[in-house]
Structure 1
Amino acid sequence: MRVAALAIVMVFFLPLGSATAWWLSVDRPASWREADWSASGVLPDPAASPDAAIYVMAARTGGLKGAVSVHSWLVVKPAGARRYDRYDKVGWGRPVRVNAYAADARWYSNAPFVVKAVHGAKAAALVPAVEAAIAAYPHDGRGDYRIWPGPNSNSFVAHVLRAVPELDAVLPPHAVGRDYLGDGPRVHVDADGRDVHFSLYGLAGLSAGLPSGLEVHLLGQALGIDLTRPALKLPGIGRIGMAR
């Protein structure tokens, strides 16, 4: 038992401690009022190409929780559209918001990064499925937001990714809330059968399959390995290795 406890501390809490120490050394805004929420320029001009596009985006969140978690969102552009539509889940009012921020806006002054990009004919074919999954999200009522263990912003995006496995996207291991499947013990098999997820209230669980690799979940964080695109997944730090 002592060896097991030490192993848990080593593999989960040392990366979290390292991420926290780094975060405390970073200059960042004291509140959301002081933060920069402007467009970052990460995404290309949507009017420059008629092709459809889907982006899964993420950025470190604000306050101390930014040490160990990102906020994620979805960006969709149907074929021929000259603008992006951005979908976020937030913690006030009606949770799922459309175009509340620029598609590639900074989040609490933190520059976003692209988790997954899909373009062209594949994106055009998947846009209706993504929009249907967003519309079917079950936690979109007032009060349907819980910062931890979920359902939060990452729970929302993860729901869409599980519903549309053709996107072949997996949120970073420090997207706290992505593993929340609902209250109680839950099991979910992705529509294409390539990923299986088990969650206990979003507090502990497992994921296994070709997209996820092998992951162990604890307190909203994930530790794992991706074998198809070799990488380590570390709590609080993220993915280290080949990009998805």
Structure 2
Amino acid sequence: MKKTLFVTSLAVLVSACSNSDWRTASREPAGIAPDPQQEQEAIIEFYGADAFSWRGWFAIHTWIATKETGASQYKVHEVTGWRVERGQPALYSYNTATPDRYWFGAKPEKILSIKGERAAELIPKIDQAVQSYPWKNEYSVFPGPNSNTFPAWIGKQVPELGLDMPFSAIGSGYAD
């Protein structure tokens, strides 16, 4: 009886997830990142959004966006598990004007934002840390390395960031 109740409860909870199909979940910009066409200063932003589907009840997915002084786009760095499943590195960097896109239906929030000269000084250190990330080709939901391990590790390599990862960034402790 208890097992049936548990399975039924779990099925109801999972079916209540708003993001049940990643192919149709929103990836629209959230409108919280400065427009790179208008903002000329250097920018560093760390974002977090609820993980996809039921995982979002417990954990977030995090990523980093940097924009050099005068650049017309951000460079986004993130780690995803499905890339490893396809034989690609978990770590992926790309250029975009919209680094604040919804994470498959979940609106991102800023974890950290730095602008101006301080950001310009720290971006090369972040780039160097990204290049030396030790788990580029690995991904494990728990205990890590995962999408939260990556920004936490960057924060340890560049302590001047003062990055404080949220409690729900499960896997961020793996960088310790």
TM norm structure 2: 0.84
One of 116, 125, 129 as aligned partner of 2:125: 129
| Aligned equivalents of 1:26, 1:45: Cα separation in 2 | 35
Contact 2:139 2:146 in 1 (8 A): yes
Residue 168 (1) aligns with residue 162 (2)? yes
Residues 1-244 of structure 1 mapped to structure 2, 5 A cutoff: 28-91=18-81, 92=83, 93-99=88-94, 102-141=98-137, 144-181=138-175
Partner AA of 2:164 in structure 1: V
Q: CA deviation at 1:26?
A: 6.5
The 2-side partners of 1:100 and 1:81 are apart by 10
Unpaired runs of 5+ residues, structure 2, are 1-9
Secondary structure of the equivalent of 1:123?
Answer: helix
Higher RCO (CA < 8 A, seq sep 6+) = 2
Structure 1 residue 29 displacement after superposition: 2.0
Q: CA deviation at 1:24?
A: 6.7
- Summarize the Cα distance change of 1:152–1:174 in structure 2 as closer, same or farther, 3 Å threshold: same
Q: Shift in Å at residue 39 of structure 1? A: 1.4
Deviations 1:190-243 (A, max 9, x none): xxxxxxxxxxxxxxxxxxxxxxxxxxxxxxxxxxxxxxxxxxxxxxxxxxxxxx
Using a 3 Å threshold, how does the CA distance of structure 1 residues 147 and 100 change in structure 2: closer, same or farther? Answer: farther
Alpha-carbon shift at residue 28 of structure 1 (Å): 0.9
Runs of 4+ residues deviating >2 angstroms: 23-27, 99-102
More deviation, 39-48/70-79: 39-48
CA offsets per residue over residues 49-70 of structure 1, 9 Å max, x none? 2110100110001121110000
Asked whether the equivalents of residues 78 and 91 of structure 2 are also in contact (C-alpha less than 8 Å), the reply is yes
Structure 2 Cα separation of the partners of residues 32 and 47 of structure 1: 30
Hey, which of these two has a bigger chunk of strand by percent? 1
**How many aligned residue pairs are there?**
159
Residue by residue, what CA displacement relative to the aligned partner does 1:82-120 show, whole Å, maximum 9, x if unpaired? 111111101122111112874101012111000010000
* 2:114 alignment partner AA: V
Decide whether the 8 Å contact of 2:74 with 2:95 is kept in 1: no
Q: Distance in 2 between matches of 1:24 and 1:37?
A: 21
Give % identity. Answer: 30
Scaled by the length of structure 1, the TM-score of the pair is 0.61
Q: Where does structure 1 lack aligned partners over 5 or more consecutive residues?
A: 1-19, 182-187, 189-244
**What is the SS of the residue equivalent to 1:128?**
helix
Q: SS in structure 2 opposite 1:43?
A: coil
